[in-house]
Amino acid sequence: MKKYLMANWKMQLLNTEAIELAGELVMGLEQLGVDKTNNIETVFCAQYTALPQLSKVLVNSKIKLGAQDVFYHEKGQYTGEVSPLQLKELGVEYVIIGHSERRKFLKETDEEVNRKIKISLEHGLTPIFCVGETAEERRSNKTEVTIIRQITRGLEDVELKDDQKIIIAYEPVWAISPAPPAKPEEVSVVIKLIRHLLKDFFAPKVCQEQIITVYGGSASGENVKSFMQVDGIGGALVGGASLTKDKFLPMIEEMN
């Protein structure tokens, strides 16, 4: 099955830096032959302002363009928001939804996450749906309850057409860099729970073929292999280690 390596550049790069990094990575991936083997889907999720130029940089490569959020309306009086149609227009194919930083700093709710997932699918964007418990939730034994809440509310009434997929990124908030990564055993428990919950929402074939579960949280070239060995993990969502070619390219090599 295809593996997924998705870079989440967050708000870390100026537009010029994002374009430069993308150019370096395109070249690096070509040299590694990843473009030819076709077994890893690489996605760059960049800030909105860099997307128009990035779509030009990526036009002849197999790397896909992703956004870091989307609004849940197509058009209208929503100052400052960006619609799925506007993203599509730029060639965006993936969109991160419900990242813990948005849940924390922008007070994004499960209901908003759900609306964003639905509208993204309606317009042919692949959601990268993030879930994960905070350190406090883990300490007070609320990991399961949190994941169950995020998954069940996030996926309510979500339907997938045959050619669509959803990526679910398990990102324990306490493992996002600069914190150390989670242990593969800890990740395995939650991935199992997520995959179990999915059965309530989708047919077995859909769960198996169209819902990809990935890990995020200080993933790097040093540890990505150990996460890829966890049953049910099909890739990684990467923040810090996606910001330089020297850190990102080794991850590809490890996954290839």
Which residues belong to the active site? 99, 171
Pairing of strands 126-131, 94-97: parallel
- 247 vs 34: CA distance, rounded Å: 16
What size, in residues, is the chain?
256
**CA angle, residues 239, 245, 248, in degrees to nearest 5:** 45
219 near ligand PGA, rule: CB under 6 A? yes
238 near ligand PGA, rule: CB under 6 A? yes
Question: What x-and-dash track marks residues 90-129 binding ligand PGA by CB under 6 A?
Answer: ----------------------------------------
* Min dist. Cβ of residue 181 to ligand PGA (A): 8
Identify the H or E element spanning 237.
strand 233-238
Q: DSSP string covering 137-182, please?
A: HHHTT-HHHHHHHHHHHHTTT----TT--EEEEE--GGGSTTSPPP
254 near ligand PGA, rule: CB under 6 A? no
Which of 42, 114, 150, 218 is in the footprint of ligand PGA by CB under 6 A?
218
Q: Which of 69, 44, 2, 4 is nearest to 245 (CA)?
A: 44
How many chain residues bind ligand PGA (CB under 6 A)?
Answer: 13
Q: Give the nearer residue to ligand PGA in terms of CB position, either 52 or 180.
A: 180
> Which CA distances in Å does 234 have to 25, 48, 90, 229?
21, 26, 27, 9
Residue 177 and residue 152 in contact, taking contact as beta carbons nearer than 8 Å: no
237 near ligand PGA, rule: CB under 6 A? yes
7 near ligand PGA, rule: CB under 6 A? no
150 near ligand PGA, rule: CB under 6 A? no
Question: What x-and-dash track marks residues 197-216 binding ligand PGA by CB under 6 A?
Answer: -------------------x
- Identify which range of 15-23, 65-73, 155-163, 169-177 contacts ligand PGA by CB under 6 A: 169-177
* Residues of this chain that bind ligand PGA (CB under 6 A): 8, 171, 176-177, 216-219, 237-241
